[in-house]
Structure 1
Amino acid sequence: MYQPIPPVSLYASYSRSFQPSRPFSVNTDNSPFKPTTGEAFEVGVKTEFLDGKLAATLAAYQITKQNIIVSDPDNPGFSIEVGEQRSRGIEFDIAGEILPGWKIIGSYTYIDPEITEDTNPDFKGNIPNNVSRNSASLWTTYELSNRRLERVWIWLRCYICGRQAG
């Protein structure tokens, strides 16, 4: 991490991963799966404004994984290994306090996924299943500053949770 000026920090990250294959899981030809390996690169900038009440992060990343186990489209109930998948993307996060006690967090991610290598040439260049190109989230919280209101809120949550549990 490098901070050229007080409200701005630049950062870079690199990591590698290794996940052994699942015990007793095998290919349709009864051979064991290879371990899943991967590496990730990320660069970004973090900023803070309004005395820390507003913060934002913008990041670009690339994640590459090899030997990923996925459902076999030709044999339901079985799995196969995909040679290599790569995901590149950009993520933007913003968090801040709108009013005293009211905080909000929002994020947006764009992902460009691709199967980059495989023994089956039909898979190469395809988009992996269950990967959304666009993703967004919004989260908000409000902290009660009045002790009486806090007790009412706690009682109300307990009452609602108790009724749901019964």
Structure 2
Amino acid sequence: MKVQDIMVKEAKSCRPNTNLAAATEIMWTNNCGALPILDGGSKVVGMITDRDICMAVGTRNQAPSEIAVFEVKPKPQEVYTCAPDDDIHAALRTMQTRKVRRLLVVSNEGALRGILCLDDVALNARKRNGISFDDVVETLQTICEHRLLRQAAAA
């Protein structure tokens, strides 16, 4: 199975100068937890999550409408990506290695084509089309492993 078979193809996005109130509205309206950040065209320069927004608003004495995305996610930002024709298991390995639940799907030129979320992978595991629940659980365990190690060290 390929990434393009299950990725969200109509991924919503924002620009670096978008304010956090507007970014939150896009997420709320489209029921998503992350937005790719695009330059003036369609090239990906970053990603902002609902957690990024909550932490920024919670740690600053400013209204969300007064904080721009670039203030929270300054460039350059490492962005974890995959290609539409990548095998889904290769994308899961990238998620495991990078400890992320989302990958931006980009063309060879870096243009946004969609987003792949671990949630979408889990939903497709039910259909038995090359993805197993074990694949999803293993990926999630690997992503969360750093938390478990910190908890064990603190105990």
Shorter-chain TM-score tier: under 0.3
The structure that is strand-richer by fraction is 1
Please identify the structure whose Cα radius of gyration is greater.
1
More helix by proportion, 1 or 2?
2
Q: Which has the higher contact order (CA 8 A, sep 6+)?
A: 2
Normalized against structure 1, the TM-score is what? Answer: 0.21
